[in-house]
A and B are shown apart, each in its own frame.
Chain A
Amino acid sequence: MTKFENKTAFSRRSVLLGGGALVVSIGAGLTLDTLVSMQQAFAQGAKPPLTPDQLSSYIAVNADGTVSAFFGKMDMGHGLHVAIAQMVAEELDVPFKAVKVHMGDTGNSVNQGGASGSTGIQFGGKQMRMAAAEARRVLVEMAAGLLSVPADKLTVNDGVVSASDDKAKRITYVQMIGGKYFNVQLDWNKQYGNTLYAPGKAQPKDPKTHKIVGQPIKRDDVAPKVFAQEDFVTDIKVPGMVHGRMIRPAVAGSVPAKVDEASIKDIPGAKVVWDKGFLGVVADKEWDAIKAAEKLKVEWSDVQPPFPEQSALYEHIRKAEVRKRQVEKENGNVDDAFKSAAKVIEAEYEWPFQSHASMGPACALVEIKDGNVTCWSGTQKSHFVQQGLALTLGMPEDKVRVIYTAGPGSYGRNDADDCAMDAGVLAKAVGKPVRLQYMREQGTGWDPKGPASVHKARAALDASGKVIAYEFFSKGFSRVDVNTNGSKPWDTLAGQTLGVALKPGDGFGVPAESYAFDSKRTGWETIPPLLDRASPLRGAHLRDPVGPQIHFASESFMDEVAAAINVDPIEFRLRHIKDPRDIAVLKAAAEKAKWQTRASPRKDQTGAKVSGRGIAYSQRNGTRVAIVAEVDVDRASGKIFARKFTVAHDCGQIINPDGLEKCIEGNIVQGISRTLWEEVTFDKKAVTSVDWVSYPILDITETPALVESVLINHPELPPTGAGEPSIRPIAAAIANAIFDATGVRIRRVPFSPDRVKAALS
């Protein structure tokens, strides 16, 4: 447990009066008892309950002067903890280096939603900022009493409160509360997760006064990683631990009918854990567990192969029954406008299933001891995994602790939560701690997938070429066939293989933009999954859930309309976009990229190698991004080199510009990979993308030569997210650049060389 759970014994009198270091001048009429009670009102030795309405659930000033920030979200690789420490240090008036952010441990943080929807700063940081501001307010109020100086005559520097006009009158945070706990109630909105908000009475600082927020402070976790000093979840070991491996069917939907445990009897410590569709093995040694999983003789139930031929995927989506239809935005009279149109432009776009394909397959360690469950997991959402383990194992939630420990990459609802539940089931069955790591073919072949979809766009033009109506509809598999977290057994492979009743969700999305047309309708339709239970193609959240596919289609289509009326693609957008910050990112990207105003495509190139430029833009939960892609197309080989990207990015207040640059860089490169290469393949029986050969991603020879960013800072606005918005417009920017270069419109992702070559011939 954390060091804060050891109750600190202390003498009130010794803390207040003991030691020469403490400078307290007791004013006339202020008795010691009054002082003690004043301090006790805010600070105490016993830890208050770990609930969202307690300041101590977020902030502690330690005896050594450091500050612990307990954060119910976690960093997935962008250095979020640095930004959070900046926000806390800023509000609390302590040095940045004094703040240590503890992330995603259910034993010392409340459920702030985990890593989710690029809200680490937007919601998580907002709460930590408010908590730190309240901590400062309380500490200044305590100091006011102790120093007999009105609070508004006190200043704070590096955790030292002093009288503005007499620096000798001073007291430190440590002296007032170091090693003890805040006893301060917050005004909690009774929400858990991303929407949790619990401010105190304090107002955060005026951004104009910020000294730490906005600085390009470097990450302190790079060195431990390059010197091999940091444990990943894969590195955690506990005494008595055994190793587990899971066994999945060769035909999706099949379950074990007969398991011959004798087939692995020569493997030391090998045991089978089999319950309905759940089948795993454990062994004392990891290699033995791998061998046992390979050697175990299993007869599987005979089932009909559940999938269509991959070549029929989009036809399947088009013809499939609609399970849920939702119009999200509508204005004007779309149907009448299309009836009166002089010209209608229509296009359809297709996006495949994609895998999280994390750098390593998921790993989790679960120990069940003395009625307590401890789980180490690389999950994005440890508090939800805590709930999921409690339900899956039949344990009270408060007996389950999940300790987030960095995993081998994430990018959404990958295989981490499934792995934590599987490890829990194995550990309970064998009565020993189990470290479970999936194999590569399970990491790619069996993770929840970004759903495949078809997108239909059409625009009605009047005789003058003006767009009088626009309609955009997506039809695809749900992005929440399994939910965004592992809190419910029906959303994890363990629950599904153990036979719990299913509760699939229906969700997709619409373009996030501010195009104003007289008539406009956007919406979506979801279709049933190809296999209801334990499907390797179950739809879930993959980085910027359904954002890349929707905006690939919608922003390609805007280019198609611009080209049809022979207007420059940025000029066309600026005619219709209404939001001033949207306009600003478009103009900033155009200016930085030295955009030449002209209609696409170029008509001045001959030969095998041609170049083009393309623009795409989108919003995402308050953030705006415009991207200019410059690509080279080899017409002979079909190979695309996405050479240069210019990104204009507005996420409100920037907390750390260096972190933001790196975050954008990762989005661009992963976005290129998803656009040019990534497609989950499958046959009628199973997913056939099972490794890096059958699920290729971008390699370093395809890295863009240049990514230039224009970071538009709005210190006066609340910060919004950056973890995902800039991956959103990439595919369309590249598609539009290919069109500019070649005059050919590619409407299906990925733009693999074969597909591009075929489209160009």
Chain B
Amino acid sequence: MATKSFTLTVNGQTHKVEADPDMPLLYALRNDLGLNNPHFGCGLAQCGACTVHVDGQPVRSCSLPMSAVGDGKIVTLAGLGTPEKPHPLQTAYVEEQVTQCGYCVNGWIMTAAAFLRDKKKPTEDEIKEALSGVKCRCGTHISILKAVKRAATMMG
């Protein structure tokens, strides 16, 4: 299995990673760069737990091979906001006390962040449609919806 050298730009920093070109980006982020915020949920792009932004677009990193990342700028949940400078969705998640087990949080926030950036004042149905491909097993959907609506208001 031949490995190749890749340069990744993640949260504004560049990293060199030696990897199998077929390896999904998720494993480079989690194991080579120690960024634990994207989670392995399914490895099939079905649940969203591994979502990161590549050039601003939400991407399921469990299914994106290293060979396809190119020079895309990657942002993870840790790069989206910090306790000092939170993204409105992070603020809203805390305000609405959304989480239960919390494993899915990454997928919802990263997917919703890209949606809310592009869609101002979305309707409830538009929010639901945009997030219909993200899974939560604990059943926090009611609070998720409240938080995304709250963040949408904050983002004008």
Contact = CB atoms under 8 A, between A and B. Distances in A.
Interface of A: 76-78, 218-219, 221-223, 225-232, 234-235, 266-268, 285-288, 291, 357-361, 406-411, 437, 439-440, 658, 662, 665-671, 673, 691-693, 697-701, 703-704, 707
Contacts of B138: 77, 359, 409, 666, 670
B137 A227 contact: no
A227 B104 CA distance: 13
B12 to A, nearest CB: 15
A667 B100 contact: no
A694 B20 CA distance: 30
B23 A410 contact: no
A191 B51 CA distance: 46
6 contacts: A409-B101, A410-B101, A666-B138, A699-B133, A699-B135, A700-B145
B102 A406 contact: yes
Contacts of B43: 439-440
A287 B19 contact: yes
A408 B101 contact: yes
B134 interface: yes
A440 B23 contact: no
Contacts of A229: 83
A670 B36 contact: no
A635 B28 CA distance: 49
A693 B142 CA distance: 22
Interface in B11-57: 19-20, 23-24, 27, 30-31, 35-37, 39-44, 46-47, 49
B82 A227 contact: yes
B116 interface: no
Contact of A668 (B76, B89, B102, B139): B139
Given A285-B31, A437-B40, A665-B140, A701 B128 contact: yes
B109 interface: yes
B82 to A, nearest CB: 6
B128 A700 contact: yes
Interface in B106-153: 106, 109, 128-129, 131-145
A268 B20 CA distance: 12
B84 to A, nearest CB: 10
Interface residues of B, number: 59
Given A78-B100, A286-B27, A409-B100, 6 more contacts: A222-B102, A228-B76, A285-B27, A665-B140, A691-B46, A698-B139
B30 to A, nearest CB: 8
A670 B139 CA distance: 5
Nearest to B104: A359
A670 B98 CA distance: 15
Contact of B83 (A219, A227, A234, A692): A227
A586 B106 CA distance: 39
B10 interface: no
Contact of A232 (B36, B100, B133, B140): B36
A432 B124 CA distance: 51
Interface in B71-114: 76-78, 81-83, 86, 89-90, 93-94, 97-106, 109
A407 B99 CA distance: 13
Contact of A667 (B101, B109, B139): B139
A440 B139 contact: no
A699 B31 contact: no
A226 B109 contact: yes
Given A287-B20, A692-B47, A700-B132, A235 B102 contact: no
Given A658-B97, A697-B135, A703-B128, A230 B141 contact: no
A438 to B, nearest CB: 10
Given A291-B1, A408-B39, A699-B135, A225 B31 contact: no
Contacts of B94: 222-223, 226
A359 B103 contact: yes
B131 A700 contact: yes
B95 to A, nearest CB: 9
B81 A227 contact: yes
B41 A408 contact: yes
Interface in B59-78: 76-78
B42 A691 contact: yes
B41 A440 contact: yes
Contacts of B31: 285-286
A667 to B, nearest CB: 7
B137 to A, nearest CB: 4
B122 to A, nearest CB: 13
Given A440-B42, A670-B139, A692-B135, A408 B90 contact: no
